[in-house]
Chains A and B, each alone.
Chain A
């Protein structure tokens, strides 16, 4: 049996939605358990006081990346059949900037605002209303934004393809960077905790 299961027809569309629901539930659960429903913890990383979010997210990325590589290497997963969100450099750069500003001003990212809302947090709920309003506004303005929205297209590409490195080498380098970054984060937290 090879993955991706949906691409190979092992599961149908309905089952894939059930998988998505289960994954989403687990994601929300672990986000909340890790304390990412707290605006203080989330914004703490921008002041280098509490880098839990950075460490948690980067760990998740590295775990998934290594998992995909090894499953592909063992022949259990055809990595090139996994859907990749296409890269559009300029809108994703500007969108990321707006996201970052919203994150530190609001105290939540979209996912964690839902997590906070689920625990009854009022500021989380206001954040969710803000993001839904933003989505609605984007939809209404889309005809005017479309040229910019589609600019800088690089198609579905990966870091290892752009760097012309083997997938495993790229994964190993990123993991190494992550380990160094975690060590650096620990040092920063200690330094800022003593201030």
Chain B
């Protein structure tokens, strides 16, 4: 094969790559609709029509899980029967299992599924044991009041700091968000007695 042929082949690949990049920037795979743990906490409290699924192992699930969540493994997810008008919401520890579940889901199942952004990690850090500002900005006061109420409702305990606290974690755009960065998984243990 001559260098000319190789060069032409390479140029074709370059053009195809440019085209793929502009036509479908994120590729053929689709990202799910996410919801924040803040939205989920309110949905559970308000008894909305959701089926919450924890994808982690049984032992980890028993240690701590989001209230009302069922423990279903990846292989059992396909056979899960969903009632009409119910939304399926899945989560895992740090979104690895949730990502795996989403990738292997059928299109029909995906249309009724949302993923908890940040999984159990965000539930632990933003609902159960959130770190809240001691002197919040005016636009965050209502949010902080709601977070304190939810944390208390779920048996958590907020901590307060006079350092600046990022409140963006409570807002997740369901249509624009991408999978969060995977951080190291760790055990989630209830604090206190």
Contacts and interface: CB of A to CB of B under 8 A. Distances in A.
A7 B97 CA distance: 10
B18 A169 contact: yes
B134 interface: no
Nearest to B17: A172
A171 to B, nearest CB: 6
Which of B3, B10, B11 has the most chain A CB atoms inside 10 A of its CB? B10
Contact of B10 (A73, A78, A179): A179
A144 to B, nearest CB: 29
A8 B96 contact: yes
Q: Say what secondary structure dominates the interface of chain A.
A: helix
Contact of B21 (A2, A168, A179): A168
A81 interface: yes
B14 A2 contact: no
Interface in B63-109: 96, 99-100, 103
B14 A172 contact: yes
Contact of B14 (A73, A176, A183): A176
A75 B179 contact: no
B11 to A, nearest CB: 7
Contacts of A186: 3
A162 interface: no
Contact size range, A: 20 to 34
Given A73-B20, A168-B17, A175-B14, A8 B25 contact: no
B24 interface: yes
Contact of A168 (B20, B29, B96, B103): B20
A179 B100 contact: no
B21 A172 contact: yes
A72 B3 CA distance: 28
Given A2-B103, A75-B29, A80 B18 contact: no
B13 A169 contact: no
Contacts of A7: 96, 182
Interface of B: 3, 7, 10-11, 13-15, 17-18, 20-22, 24-25, 27-29, 96, 99-100, 103, 179, 181-182
Given A8-B100, A169-B21, A179-B11, 17 more contacts: A7-B182, A9-B100, A69-B17, A72-B27, A73-B24, A73-B27, A73-B28, A78-B99, A80-B179, A81-B182, A167-B21, A168-B18, A168-B25, A171-B17, A172-B15, A172-B17, A183-B7
